[in-house]
A and B are shown apart, each in its own frame.
Chain A
């Protein structure tokens, strides 16, 4: 049981916009910034979004992040086949004094 809650799966067709949610609590998302990671099949995770909505260099602007209260969202616009991957949210938890991850969302491009 992960501290952060994500839907196990999401899907969309090429060109569509999809969103993935991440729900937490006042000790993590409610008081800390949220990061998103993308994990392509059989590869190590890569940082997709940090500090709620900041894209590292090289990440397309099709990816965007937002946060409101104790929830966060990752949006992918103009969906492409290469976006098919697992997506994880993460945040520092002030009570646990450590990083917590979501259970991951498997995105399928139909």
Chain B
């Protein structure tokens, strides 16, 4: 079975600093990986998705993630944090690449300090 592990349930960064949210995956087959964001009292929104091809994936709101097979990682980064980035972020994996059977990590809450 596929799974993802998010390292750090809470991450704090200063406004303007680098955002790095860590995710490692476990899969016996090539994984399809996702990052989602959830703002308070809202549903989830897809940030980006990796399927095949280019290992650096660019998403919305200036976020990007790099698929590293050798490290089984799919970390999410943003060069400069903004106050509006404060939210909970979920890494996820799908066996087929589709959205119907996505398995989520436990989430990382990002706090941005002014």
Partners in one complex: no
List residues of B whose CB falls within 8 A of some A CB. Answer: none
